[in-house]
A and B are shown apart, each in its own frame.
Chain A
Amino acid sequence: MAVKDYLRERFFPHLWCPGCGHGMVLNGLVQAIEKLGVSRNEIVMVSGIGCSSRITGYVDFHTLHTIHGRALAFATGVKMSRPELTLIVPMGDGDALAIGGNHFIHAARRNIDMTAIVMNNRIYGMTGGQFSPLSGENVSATTAPYLTIDPSFDVVELSKAAGATYVARTTTYHIKQMQDIIRQAILHEGFSVVEILSQCPTYFGRKNKAGSAVDMVKWYKKNTTPIGSKAKKENPELVERGIFVQEERPEYCKQYEKIVQTAMKG
């Protein structure tokens, strides 16, 4: 099937600003799914609220656009009742890790089979540029006129500690890597986290003098490096990209199947 067959063209043009990274994530995601060849009827995409979460409207799967921060909880209900379905849960950084942080760590702990994609633009785009728990320190935001003092979560470390069995990071510059990482995340049986650094030129960019969308994407190129690279050793400031965790652990729905078997024996 062609990539365009995965999109709901009826609902285009999309509402993202020109140069927004979220459109590039949509592109990478659809390419990855196209390569996997999963039937559209078997994919359920669940999102919360935010610019990032509007992605569900544009893809031709079963799509559930829910409330802010709770996408993983809705997805857990879908997956538990129909474990054979493929669950993909794109979220904004605020959506996933501020209001949704609790659901995030518990979904990881359970190792329920779904792919969580954190579209990290380090800002609240939809509400107009307030800081997020991933902004980090010294960032300018509409709620940080004196710059942020809040330290950031490290999505990778947090996911590992919470028990995610697949953890990866990439950026909107590294489209090929993004496709590959998403594809493997979907194939992985268990809770997968993919963090994608995704630019918000409108708010983060403008507020922090990060330049145009193109400049921001180039920043990802310059300031990230493959996991364990020589460059990282020389410059610890660089952000690592790649697959950090990929391991086997019993998956939640499979475990529940055992409970059903035990209970049915009586």
Chain B
Amino acid sequence: MSDNVKFVQGNEACVEAALYAGLDFYAGYPITPSSEITEGLSYRLPQIGGKFIQMEDEIASLCAIIGASLTGSKVMTATSGPGFSLMQEALGYAIMAEIPCVIVDVQRGGPSTGLPTQGSQGDVNQARWGTHGDHAIIALTASNHQDVFAVTVEAFNLAETYRTPVVLLFDEIVAHMRERLVIPEPGEIPLVGRLRTSVKEGVDYHPYLPREDGRLPMSDFGGVHRYNVTGLFHDMWGFPSSEPQIVHGLLRHLVDKLENRVNQLAWFKEYYLEDAEHLLISYGSAARSARHVVEKRRLRGERLGFLELQTLWPFPTDIVRDKCAHVKSVIVVELNMGQILQAVKLAVDQPEKVFLVNRIDGVFITPTDILNLLRLIQGKGV
């Protein structure tokens, strides 16, 4: 194997991608099944002059990376459900203060301590709605290591582009599975760096005044522009304000900057959609079995199609509606009680034709599980 071909766990693919994307600073707290990311970066980051710190908990971990991001660093933390729950307040802070950062949640069974060592996709809605107040969020996922790599790099790019936290929703199965990973050559995937202000020293810099293209150039803490950052509603200087017009304008800005770009942010893969009668929609580890079923049944001439979602939030409503328009049924395959199912039902014109195929017992959903339910939906009996 050449140097850039590796046989690794999903968590290691995430580590490789974060370093490829230019990660400078990582803070974390150990938790299964994400610990390999924290361990890996404790080893790798100092080798390139980066910084690693093990904090006292997950709250502190997210707070620390937000602080580091303000000095101009590319930052990340990784955790699993219990830690992700602890992070929700600081996640809202990063949204409000518009601080680029990447948060990995390697999902395990929940609620509570749940199933620490087994896979689940139960945090999908938490990623969307976990922090309080109206807001928008980006959450990406992947079903294989090459895609773990790709979406991790993309998470850093999106965080910088939109000055926002980006959530990577992996799951225990992909995280701990071993498979081939080809690390792209430097430059093969374009990287987005920090957009810094061109305002000169001594000239009034407005950290929260968007440019015409909607982007907000930053200035590193420690640099020549001194400004305020707060989680309160704030004006263009970052100073607290409860002026109704300012409050309204800021909330609209925070939501619109992502929700108005849903199609641009949507990463997905489609297979055999042209003539599909039944469409399977899945993501993460569950997508592996779903795709397998579709490939196998196609060989027998069954007209199954497959849509793999990689961007879960903002939910690509129009794209999903469009892809579902001409099929007889839509089958959502996921490892929870129907979190993406609800989003799909809201998206399509005929919600009654959308079905759920799931497992919630900590066991990986197999092609046979899917086939059994598929036969029922297709009216073939078990």
Contacts and interface: CB of A to CB of B under 8 A. Distances in A.
B145 to A, nearest CB: 25
B46 interface: yes
B7 interface: no
Main secondary structure of the interface of A (DSSP, over half): helix
Interface in B41-78: 43, 46-47, 49, 51, 53, 55-57, 59-61, 63-73, 75
B239 A11 contact: yes
A4 B73 CA distance: 32
B89 A75 contact: no
A264 B46 contact: yes
A63 B224 contact: no
A44 B240 contact: no
Interface in A77-133: 77-82, 84-85, 102-103, 106
B223 interface: yes
Interface in B1-58: 24-25, 27, 43, 46-47, 49, 51, 53, 55-57
A77 B230 contact: no
B224 A73 contact: no
A183 interface: no
Contact of A77 (B47, B66, B93): B66
A46 interface: yes
Contacts of A62: 70, 221-222, 226-227
Interface string B344-382: 000000000000000000000000000000000000000
Contacts of B72: 81
Contacts of A239: none
A63 B90 CA distance: 17
Contacts of B69: 77
A213 to B, nearest CB: 25
Contact of B66 (A74, A84, A260, A264): A74
A56 interface: yes
Most buried by A among B65, B66, B232, B240: B66
A64 B89 CA distance: 16
Given A41-B222, A44-B221, A76-B55, A103 B70 contact: no
B60 A78 contact: no
A46 B60 contact: no
Interface string A250-266: 00000010011011101
Contacts of B59: 70, 73
Contact of A70 (B63, B221, B224): B63
A103 B56 contact: yes
B229 A65 contact: yes
A244 interface: no
B71 A82 contact: yes
B227 A76 contact: no
A67 interface: yes
A84 B222 CA distance: 9
B67 A56 contact: no
B214 to A, nearest CB: 24
A62 B59 CA distance: 22
Q: Please tell me the size bucket of the interface on A.
A: 35 or more
Given A73-B63, A76-B60, A63 B70 contact: no
Contact of B228 (A63, A82, A106): A63
B197 to A, nearest CB: 14
Contacts of A262: 46
A6 B301 CA distance: 76
Nearest to B237: A10
Nearest to A85: B222
A41 B229 contact: no
Contact of A259 (B27, B46, B55, B232): B46
B240 to A, nearest CB: 7
A41 B227 CA distance: 10
Nearest to A104: B56
A180 interface: no
A57 interface: yes
A67 B89 CA distance: 8
B46 A70 contact: no
A73 to B, nearest CB: 4
Contacts of B239: 10-11, 57
B227 A63 contact: yes
B66 A65 contact: no
B193 interface: no
Most buried by A among B27, B51, B57, B237: B51
Given A57-B228, A81-B68, A260-B46, A76 B53 contact: yes
A242 to B, nearest CB: 30
A66 interface: yes
B51 A81 contact: yes
Given A77-B69, A80-B68, 15 more contacts: A41-B222, A41-B224, A42-B222, A57-B228, A62-B227, A76-B53, A77-B66, A78-B70, A78-B71, A81-B71, A81-B72, A85-B221, A106-B55, A256-B51, A260-B49
13 contacts: A57-B240, A60-B226, A62-B70, A64-B228, A65-B232, A67-B231, A75-B67, A76-B60, A77-B69, A102-B56, A256-B46, A259-B46, A263-B43
Interface of B: 24-25, 27, 43, 46-47, 49, 51, 53, 55-57, 59-61, 63-73, 75, 89-90, 93, 221-224, 226-232, 237, 239-240
4 nearest A-B residue pairs (beta carbon): A77-B67, A77-B64, A73-B63, A263-B46
